[in-house]
């Protein structure tokens, strides 16, 4: 079973997306802040990481850089999610090699597509749309 | 040369009042006879009140300018150590905007010197040997007046600039505020939407058809809230002029296809007939395709929203008679808009209060005003025509890219 690490500080979003992911047949690990995220990444050894950009204790980009420097998650595909409309975020996400960038609210199809393409293409040659 | 000394900063405020009373002029000329002549010319009792000081060379002239206030300088083009224009440039470099305006006294017919004088920043030049009392005083008065005007314009533009900066900062602040509010709203909205979707999709247990339908409406409402906030952010962005159009020469076909696709399911759901009358081949236009899709999808979306089930929408794309612009129009058989409301439909948050058939308007929100901004950033125009109860036509025109010169204008 594939494992997804969901890093998101909003408890309800974590609950909702978590339910969705489990219904899709994924194992779900969660973290609500930057520090826990790193610990969970080490422990859960995820196949895909879903990462919120606005996080307490360091934004999602910093967390992404940390994750990419960890041995377990150095090549794990990252899907960024955000409720923010700032234009530069998408560019940063692309620079960090994210496989997808989803604006909240997003529907389950978009999430499923992003995860599937993450599992297929991996992080290196994928491009954020 | 030792410049040092002080900059006569206080002199600038004096200039306005002093010019009304006595105009202080400094003549820099190494010829005593010429200095005497000017002295005589400018002390005519019927002439303007001009007080003339003299300097025999450039360094003496510069020193005087550093220690005293002058409203105008008369500088001989040919000075012993340097040229008059060179001296003026040196002085301007030291005093910056506090350097008094200068008139260069050139040799007769010295066109090169005259050009040089203007380039050096002198306000005027006079051929030295054609000088008369009247000519000299008129030239001085003119230069002093012009300089006074220039100073006041400069002062005003500095003031305007600071107001402008403040407004810009305010605008950024407003934009950040909207961004923040949008983020705060969308986070719980995303959770709510997903919870509803989970129920609709049967993940939380079996749902009957009626429940699923009701919840699908709730999902639509969630998406509407998100779309409104996106529009709000977009609008503030357009306001702050941060939006640039990424215009490229191309056909409108792709934009038409994708805009139509965005309403296909809604059109089918309401059993609306969507007719397309598209000229073929379409002429090339200089467009930011994504932005034009935004405009066209908005017009089509509104048409679908205001057309009753079974109605008709016509999308027409054709060039005008002289092939200078491409007209895109969306005509519906909806409730129409009263004539008195037409001019306001592109205003923010305008709503059709009450359609002809008593149906409450769902609100055009910010979409049309965003469309208007985008079309105007494409050097085009947008308008609406309507007959209440019969339907509306929303149309916009884009200039056709005729020549290679248009390619050079891709930067907007």
Any idea what the CATH number is for the domain that residue B120 is in?
A: 3.40.50.2300
Q: Are residues B264 and B386 in the same domain?
A: yes
Report the pLDDT value the prediction gives residue B353, as an integer from 0 to 100.
55
> What is the torsional sign of CA B192, B194, B200, B206?
negative
Q: Which residue out of B177, B194, B200, B236 would a mutagenesis test of the A interface target, given it has the greatest number of A Cβ atoms within 10 Å?
A: B194
Same domain, B38 and B166: no
Q: Answer whether residue B153 shows pLDDT above 90.
A: yes
In this structure, is residue B353 part of a structural domain? yes
Q: Are residues B273 and B355 in the same domain?
A: yes
- Do B62 and B207 lie in a common domain? no
Within 8 A of B181 by CB-CB distance, chain A residues are none
In a domain, B188, yes or no: yes
Model pLDDT for residues B87-113, shown as the tens digit of each residue? 999 999 999 888 999 999 987 657 888
Of the pLDDT bands very low, low, confident and very high (cuts 50, 70, 90), residue B361 is very low
Q: Using a CB-CB distance cutoff of 8 angstroms, which residues of chain B are in contact with residue A106?
A: 190
Average pLDDT, chain B: 86
Q: Is A70's Cβ below 8 Å from some Cβ in B?
A: no
Using the 3D structure, point to which of B239, B261, B294 is the last residue of a domain. B239
**pLDDT score for B408:** 54
Query: Does residue B140 belong to any structural domain of this protein?
Result: no
Residues B18, B88, single domain; the answer is yes
Q: Find the domain containing B348 and state its range.
A: 248-407
Tokens of B145: 């007046």
Banded model confidence at residue B118, pLDDT cuts 50, 70, 90: confident
pLDDT along chain A (129 residues), means of 10: 96 97 97 94 95 88 94 92 89 92 94 93 51
Answer yes or no: is B4 within a domain. no
Instruction: Based on the fold, state whether residues B215 and B252 are members of the same structural domain.
Output: no
Query: Quick one: B310 exposed, middle or buried, by C-beta within 10 A (0-12, 13-18, 19+)?
Result: exposed
Q: What is the ipTM of this complex?
A: 0.89
- Nearest-5° Cα angle at B269, B265 to B272: 95
Tell me: the pLDDT tens digits for B17-62? 444 579 999 999 999 999 999 999 998 887 788 999 999 999 999 9
* Shortest alpha-carbon distance between residue B201 and chain A (Å): 10
Q: Assess whether B328 and B209 both reside in one domain.
A: no
SS (H, E, C) chain B: CCCCCCCCCCHHHHHHHHHHCCEEEEEECCCHHHHHHHHHHHCCCCCCCEEEEEECCHHHHHHHHHHCCCCEEEEECECCCCEHHHHHHHHHHHHHHHCCCEEEEECCCCHHHHHHHHHCCCCEEEEHHHCCHHHHHHHHHHHHHHHHHHHHHHHHHHHHHHHHHHHHHHHHHHHHHHHHHHHHHHHHHHHHHHHHHHHHCCCCCCCCHHHHHHHHHHHHHHHHHHHHHHHHHHHHHHHCCCCCCCCEEECCHHHHHHHHHHHHHHHHHCCCEEEEEECCCCCCEEECHHHHHHHHHHHHHHHHHHCCCCCEEEEEEEECCCCCEEEEEEEECCCCCCHHHHHHCCCCCCCCCECCCCCECCCCCCHHHHHHHHHHCCCCEEEEEEECCCEEEEEEEEEECCCHHHHCCCCC
- The answer to whether residues B362 and B384 belong to one domain is yes
CB contact under 8 A, B191 and A85: no
Could B198 and A20 be called an inter-chain contact, meaning their C-beta atoms sit closer than 8 Å? yes
The CATH code of the domain that includes B321 is 3.30.565.10
Q: How many distinct structural domains can be found in chain B?
A: 3
Residue B306 has what pLDDT?
Answer: 87
Whether residues B278 and B391 fall in one domain:
yes
A13 chain-B contacts, CB cut-off 8 A: 187, 190-191, 194
Q: Are residues B398 and B252 in the same domain?
A: yes
Task: Kindly report the CATH number assigned to the domain that includes residue B213.
Answer: 1.10.287
Q: Does the beta carbon of A13 lie under 8 angstroms from any beta carbon of chain B? A: yes
Contact A10 B191 (CB under 8 A): yes
């Amino acid at each position: 079973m594939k494992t997804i690490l969901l890093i998101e500080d909003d408890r309800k979003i974590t609950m909702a997306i978590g339910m969705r992911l489990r219904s899709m047949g994924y194992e779900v690990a969660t973290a609500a802040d930057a520090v826990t995220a790193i610990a969970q990444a080490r422990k859960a050894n995820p196949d895909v990481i879903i990462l919120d950009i606005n996080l307490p204790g360091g934004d999602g980009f910093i967390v992404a850089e940390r994750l990419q420097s960890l041995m377990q998650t150095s090549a794990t595909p990252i899907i960024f999610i955000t409720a923010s409309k700032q234009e530069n975020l998408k560019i940063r996400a692309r620079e960090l090699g994210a496989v997808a960038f989803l604006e909240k609210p997003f529907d389950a199809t978009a999430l499923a597509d992003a995860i599937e393409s993450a599992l297929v293409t991996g992080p290196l040659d994928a491009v954020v749309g | 040369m030792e410049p040092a000394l002080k900059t006569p900063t206080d002199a600038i405020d004096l200039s306005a009042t002093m010019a009304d009373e006595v105009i202080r002029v400094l003549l820099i000329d190494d010829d005593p006879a010429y200095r005497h002549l000017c002295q005589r010319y400018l002390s005519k009792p019927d002439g303007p009140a001009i007080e003339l000081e003299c300097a025999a060379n450039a360094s003496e002239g510069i020193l005087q300018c550093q220690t005293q206030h002058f409203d105008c300088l008369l500088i001989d083009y040919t000075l012993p150590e340097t040229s008059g224009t060179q001296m003026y440039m040196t002085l301007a470099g030291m005093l910056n905007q506090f350097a008094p305006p200068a008139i260069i006294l050139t040799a007769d017919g010295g066109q090169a010197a005259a050009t040089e004088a203007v380039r050096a920043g002198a306000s005027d030049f006079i051929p030295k040997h054609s000088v008369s009392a009247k000519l000299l005083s008129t030239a001085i008065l003119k230069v002093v007046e012009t300089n006074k005007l220039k100073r006041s314009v400069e002062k005003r533009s500095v003031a305007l600039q600071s107001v402008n900066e403040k407004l810009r900062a305010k605008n950024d602040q407003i934009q950040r505020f909207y961004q923040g509010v949008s983020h705060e709203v969308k986070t719980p909205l995303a959770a709510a939407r997903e919870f509803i979707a989970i129920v609709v999709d049967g993940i939380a247990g079996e749902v009957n058809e009626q429940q699923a339908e009701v919840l699908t409406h709730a999902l639509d409402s969630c998406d509407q809230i998100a779309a409104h906030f996106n529009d709000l952010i977009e609008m503030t962005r357009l306001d702050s002029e941060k939006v640039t159009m990424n215009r490229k020469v191309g056909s409108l076909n792709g934009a038409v296809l994708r805009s139509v696709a965005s309403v296909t399911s809604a059109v089918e759901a309401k059993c609306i007939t969507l007719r397309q009358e598209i000229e073929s081949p379409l002429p090339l236009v200089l467009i930011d395709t994504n932005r034009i899709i935004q405009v066209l999808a908005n017009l089509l979306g509104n048409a679908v929203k205001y057309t009753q089930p079974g109605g008709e929408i016509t999308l027409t794309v054709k060039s005008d008679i002289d092939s200078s612009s491409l007209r895109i129009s969306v005509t519906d058989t909806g409730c129409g808009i009263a004539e008195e409301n037409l001019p306001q439909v592109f205003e923010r948050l305008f709503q059709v209060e009450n359609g002809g058939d008593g149906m409450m308007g769902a609100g055009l929100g910010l979409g049309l005003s965003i469309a208007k901004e985008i079309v105007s950033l494409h050097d085009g125009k947008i308008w609406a025509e309507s007959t209440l109860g019969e339907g509306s036509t929303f149309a916009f025109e884009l200039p056709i890219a005729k020549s290679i010169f248009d390619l050079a204008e891709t930067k907007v």
